[in-house]
Amino acid sequence: MSLDLRVDRGSPVPLYFQLSQQLESAIGNGALTPGSLLGNEIELAARLGLSRPTVRQAIQSLVDKGLLVRRRGVGTQVVHSQVKRPLELSSLYDDLEAAGQRPATKVLVNTVVPADATVAGALGVAEGSDVHRVERLRLAHGEPMAYLINHLPPGLLDLATDQLQATGLYRLMRSAGITLHSARQSIGARGATAAEAERLTEHEGAPLLTMRRTTYDDTGRAVEFGDHTYRPTRYSFEFQLLVRS
């Protein structure tokens, strides 16, 4: 790591915070690229004339933000900046690409199931009728970002597993001639279940962002109901608020 890191001992800003801010800035502007390793804590402390606990505290603050990760046998490694998703009708796949990430998908379930009351109400179909269920794990640079569950009306489009792994669901819908027009969406948070924690490499009970969305086409037909969970260290929703006069 060849960064010009400096701390000002005359500043009222804590030394660990000065260091963490410089490292965070280097990650944000690309000077520290994803996958690169930080120097040994002892070497970094000696280079800056800081104590090892001070350096450790600076690094831990960035680990807590999801910008660094400690890997056994590897060291402290830069991961990837948090994806900020605008509240608009876009897919996670498109958002990751727009953020310069490398999205990938693992399809866990791709089948037809009877609609429960929640899914039936969202899609406007009879409870117990057949709907298509897709469960996917979305990754960026090999790191899990979100666990996605989607239900669609049967016969809407061909949902081949290889296509779902290659691109986003909304792209498949658009390529099938479906015009996405609007959506109703709710956002929340809760603790991870054991299964979700395992999929998203978090610990059980870790906070997760949640999002439920029902998407409609230009005829007003519900074409998709999504129930998604996200790792908040890697992902956030971004709002634009307007003042009414």
Q: For 68-115, how does the pLDDT look when each residue is reduced to its tens digit (9 = 90+)?
A: 777 777 778 777 555 554 444 555 655 655 555 567 899 999 999 999
Give one DSSP letter per residue of 82-127, joined into a string: PEEEESSS--HHHHHHHTT--EEEEEEEEEEEE--HHHHHHHT--T
Do the Cβ atoms of 180 and 173 come closer than 8 Å? yes
> Which amino acid, one-letter code, is at 129?
S
Name the domain boundary from 54, 78, 102: 78
Q: Which among 173, 165, 166, 183 is positioned nearest to 110, based on CA atoms?
A: 165
Range of the domain at 128: 83-238
pLDDT band at 194 (very low <50, low <70, confident <90, very high): very high
- Where do the H-state alpha helices sit in the chain? 15-28, 41-48, 52-64, 92-98, 117-123, 161-166, 169-175, 194-200
> Which amino acid, one-letter code, is at 199?
R
State the Cα–Cα distance between residues 243 and 245, nearest whole angstrom. Answer: 6
What mean pLDDT is predicted for residues 144-152? 92
Residue 7 lies in a domain: no
Q: Half-sphere exposure of 236 toward its Cβ, with a 13 Å CA cutoff?
A: 8
Statement: residue 52 has pLDDT above 60: yes
Residue 167 DSSP SS3: coil
Interval 124-146: pLDDT, tens = 999 999 999 999 998 877 788 88
Name the pTM for this structure.
0.62
Q: CA torsion angle for 115, 119, 125, 126 (degrees, to 10)?
A: 50
Structure token digits, residue 221: 């037909």
Please check whether residues 69 and 168 belong to one and the same domain: no
CATH number assigned to the domain comprising residue 73:
1.10.10.10
Statement: residue 186 has pLDDT above 60: yes
**For residues 242 and 214, which has the higher predicted lDDT (pLDDT)?**
214
Name the domain boundary from 31, 51, 78: 78
Please check whether residues 46 and 160 belong to one and the same domain: no
Average pLDDT over the chain, rounded to an integer: 82
pLDDT band at 226 (very low <50, low <70, confident <90, very high): very high
Structure token digits, residue 230: 């996200």
For the beta sheet containing 222-230, the strands, ordered from the edge strand earlier in sequence to the opposite edge, are: 103-114, 130-140, 143-152, 222-230, 207-217, 180-191
Please check whether residues 68 and 110 belong to one and the same domain: no
Please check whether residues 133 and 168 belong to one and the same domain: yes
**pLDDT at residue number 46:** 85
Name the domain boundary from 26, 59, 78: 78
**pLDDT at residue number 242:** 54
